[in-house]
A and B are shown apart, each in its own frame.
Chain A
Amino acid sequence: DAGVTQSPTHLIKTRGQQVTLRCSPKSGHDTVSWYQQALGQGPQFIFQYYEEEERQRGNFPDRFSGHQFPNYSSELNVNALLLGDSALYLCASSASTGQGEKLFFGSGTQLSVL
Chain B
Amino acid sequence: GEDVEQSLFLSVREGDSSVINCTYTDSSSTYLYWYKQEPGAGLQLLTYIFSNMDMKQDQRLTVLLNKKDKHLSLRIADTQTGDSAIYFCAEISMNSGYSTLTFGKGTMLLVSP
Contact = CB atoms under 8 A, between A and B. Distances in A.
A45 B98 contact: no
Contacts, number: 66
B42 interface: yes
Interface residues of A, number: 28
Interface residues of B, number: 26
B25 to A, nearest CB: 15
A102 B98 contact: no
Please classify the interface of chain B as helix (H, G, I), strand (E, B), loop, or mixed, using the class held by over half of its residues.
strand
Contact of A42 (B31, B88, B96, B100): B88
Contact of A103 (B97, B99, B104): B99
Interface string B23-63: 00000001101010000011111001010000000000000
Interface in B87-113: 88, 90, 92, 96-106
Interface of A: 4, 6, 31, 33, 35, 40-45, 48, 50, 55-56, 58, 90, 92, 94, 100-108
Given A45-B101, A105-B42, 5 more contacts: A42-B90, A102-B45, A103-B99, A103-B101, A106-B42
Interface of B: 4, 30-31, 33, 35, 41-45, 48, 50, 88, 90, 92, 96-106
